[in-house]
Amino acid sequence: MPNEHTNAIPSSREIAERGEAIYKDKWEAKLADETGKFVAINIANGDAIIGETSEDAIRRAQEQYPQGYFHLMRIGHRTAFNAGWYMSHAH
């Protein structure tokens, strides 16, 4: 019986965990001079594809690895994007 998990699609959590681990182990120190740029981490082979914007990094990654799964990070930041909300009170 073939292994059913060989080509299993990783969950979003698995992609994030693998991508962050690869970044910390392999790329964080090497990319320190690229602060503010975006990096797409290929979770299958550990490659890092850098772009000036998030769209650029993902586009380049998909061109190079069309079947890849990527974790997007912003170099030198805890998260790729900041999110917030604002609530106004109408009187």
CA–CA gap between residue 58 and residue 50 (Å, rounded):
9
The pLDDT of residue 4 is 47
Helix %, strand %, coil % of the chain (to 5): 35, 15, 50
High-pLDDT (> 90) share of the chain, % = 74
In a domain, 32, yes or no: yes
The pLDDT of residue 75 is 95
Q: What are the tens digits of pLDDT across the range 14-36?
A: 999 999 999 999 999 999 999 99
* Average pLDDT value over all residues in the chain: 88
Q: What is the pTM of this model?
A: 0.79
In a domain, 5, yes or no: no
Domain count, the chain: 1
Find residue 48's DSSP bridge partners: 41
In a domain, 83, yes or no: no
Residue 59's domain comprises 12-74
